[in-house]
A and B are shown apart, each in its own frame.
Chain A
């Protein structure tokens, strides 16, 4: 199918899709007129029931905790699949003779300004990420957001030109072990509830007295900690694997 024909077939299909979509929109209550009772009920009962003032994190880790286990395992499987796909690539590489494919060019040295700014901000970013992970129940924070911020702190190490420090501080096997601990800890918290004859993932830790304090809301804080570990380790693994691929050819001549 030649490209112009493909384009016209797509435009016809897209016009049909848009027509059906707009026809379906006519039955919706419109933007801003949210009708459903579920959101309003949750906003009313979440704080008295769980002592967590961050209702979104309470929904993620308590009311719909089982869905979050599934999403976390999508993340886990994607990173594992990536490690498998790229490992096969590495094995084939080692048989070839190393050749310097860019011998007429030099790596430009990272400017001092970029290095200083990146290194200065790495510490605060990891700290902010850790603050986000531990305050899931209070404010707009939680395991997922804090985990990606921590991973960004590690990526800053690479951006400052010290990619070997990145590999030493976030080696692949340590990151993989931390990710496994995070994923297993989440499932284990649910299973611990089952061991006490409660339904899976029920909140069994003491709820605390002040809504929104760090020590309140029971298992929500614990699950957020495990999720933060897992997401941070997953993204460090992802960037580390891709970095190893990029540096593989150059690494041969050392």
Chain B
């Protein structure tokens, strides 16, 4: 239990990268990028966890209860929302690529010249 979440993180990164490297469709590649991004949220929250700690909200628990780290939660939560918008931008690039080159295969797109 000491490092098990971090092993799950490296597994998710590895399988997501494998999907990106061997992909034949741009939208599939973008979905694998979403999976790789999700591993960073798990990593952030795993680093800040305190055994036996409560959520850092003190409106119904007494003020000096042991709580988990709030800073990594703040980072992860803005992360989730912002990376969704960046994914939408990537999808619009995929639409543009399909319009210009007629194909969505990244291995064919790599060999096209403007």
Contact = CB atoms under 8 A, between A and B. Distances in A.
A56 B67 contact: no
5 contacts: A14-B17, A32-B50, A64-B71, A92-B99, A235-B85
A53 B59 contact: yes
B58 A64 contact: no
Contacts of B10: 17-18, 21-22
A25 interface: yes
A162 to B, nearest CB: 22
Interface residues of B, number: 53
A21 B85 CA distance: 29
Tell me if A's interface is mostly helix, strand, loop or mixed: helix
B11 to A, nearest CB: 9
A193 interface: no
Interface string B52-86: 00011111000110011111111101111110111
A152 to B, nearest CB: 12
B81 A59 contact: no
Contacts of B89: 78-79, 81-82, 85
Given A38-B69, A86-B95, 20 more contacts: A7-B21, A10-B22, A31-B49, A39-B71, A46-B70, A47-B63, A53-B59, A55-B67, A56-B56, A60-B78, A67-B75, A67-B78, A71-B78, A139-B57, A140-B57, A144-B77, A144-B81, A147-B81, A211-B58, A242-B91
A75 B50 contact: no
Given A55-B57, A235-B85, A34 B49 contact: yes
A147 B81 CA distance: 10
B34 interface: no
B41 interface: no
A82 B87 CA distance: 10
Nearest to A73: B82
A10 B20 CA distance: 10
B51 A14 contact: no
A56 B22 CA distance: 39
A139 B18 contact: no
Contacts, number: 159
Interface of B: 1-7, 10, 14, 17-18, 21-22, 46-51, 55-59, 63-64, 67-75, 77-82, 84-86, 88-89, 91-93, 95-96, 99, 107
B114 to A, nearest CB: 16
Contact of A89 (B55, B81, B95, B107): B95
B2 A30 contact: yes
A28 B51 contact: no
Contacts of A58: 70
A246 to B, nearest CB: 10
Given A28-B3, A53-B58, A54-B57, A59 B22 contact: no
A145 interface: yes
Given A31-B46, A74-B86, A18 B14 contact: yes
Candidate in B10, B18, B57, B85 with the most chain A CB atoms within 10 angstroms: B85
Given A53-B58, A78-B89, A36 B74 contact: no
A3 interface: yes
A192 interface: no
